[in-house]
Amino acid sequence: MKQIHLIAPSGASLDSQSPLAGIAWLKQQGIDILNTDCVSRVEQRFAGTDKQRLSEINQLADLSPEILVLVMRGGYGLHRLLPDIDWSAIAQNIQKGLQICGHSDFTAFELGMLAKTGAITLSGPMLNFDFGCQGEQGDSITPNAFMWKQFQTAVQDHKLDYTVSASQKYLTKSDTGACSGILWGGNLTVLTGLIGTPYLPSPAQTQGGILFLEDVNEHPYRIERMLMQLLDAGIISNQSAILLGGFSAYRLHDHDRGYSLESALECIRQRLPEEIVLLTDLPFGHQAEKLTLPVGAQAQVTYDRAGFSIQSQW
């Protein structure tokens, strides 16, 4: 990993220091950082005009395939650009070796790329939160060591091999087993927003797949409602496994009266076909400790009541 090319396809940076701190830390690791001007663009809530952000994405087709592309942050904005992205040209560069990494709102790009071309992208860290994280006093915080190690393994070795050691209480048909399939998913809200569009991979593409999901700032009832929609739309009812990552930064209320994320998942579990494995505590999402996951690659999962392992080579 010698060069990182930054892109800002969604929201503008919420502060001026995070992207600069992230750039500085990555440079300290001996990495050349390209296209740094994008971190200062602002147009309303977006990181530049639609035209600027679209042009930046389509220029990925012309980058050296040895470069890693890293997203600045999520937020919102990619949905505006999806119809005009040159999917095939970018996919051709990915086939030559170009790697593109991000998550959150970038889920729209990753799933669109998978739906349109089948090309593999990386769902993983982004510049601001993961490499330019700030403390309460504005001081820089060293990036999470687990995240950095997993990121390097994915980028350099094209490999995922991790074991989650956490009790799995949503298994039904069998206490132990294994499954394999295409690994896909990302942010639950963004994925749900793609239903009925050509940017969500088709049931034929994801049949028997391994779906991973995460979200932030969403109350459990909203999470339940979106999972119900995916279930009733036939999108998760044909999966081999569903891996749930972090669902963070929500607030329960007095009138929830004991309703919780666990309550929502128990309701979903009751409606899911029992042969579909529902696993929790995947280290992924809007959190410091996260894996880098290859969207569109084949993966294998083995599980029991004490946890699960996930492997992929792409």
Q: Is 248 a catalytic residue?
A: no
Residue 207 one-letter amino acid: Q
The pair of three-digit structure tokens given for residue 241, joined into one six-digit string? 């496994």
Pairing outcome for strands 99-102 and 121-123: parallel
Is 104 marked active-site?
yes
User: Given 5, 103, 218, 286, which residue is catalytic?
Assistant: 286
**Collapsed DSSP state (helix, strand, coil) of residue 209:** coil
Furthest C-alpha separation in the chain: 55
Find the helix or strand (DSSP H, E) in which 133 lies.
Answer: none
Torsion of CA 228, 216, 187, 166, to 10 degrees: -80
Judged by DSSP in three states, 205 sits in helix
Catalytically annotated residue among 18, 104, 123, 240:
104
Known active-site residue 286? yes
Query: Among residues 214, 218, 224, 312, which one is catalytic?
Result: 214
Rounded to a whole number of angstroms, the CA Rg of the chain reads 19
Please give the single-letter amino acid code of residue 59. Q
Whole-angstrom distance, CA of residue 221 vs CA of residue 125: 27
Residues involved in catalysis: 104, 214, 286
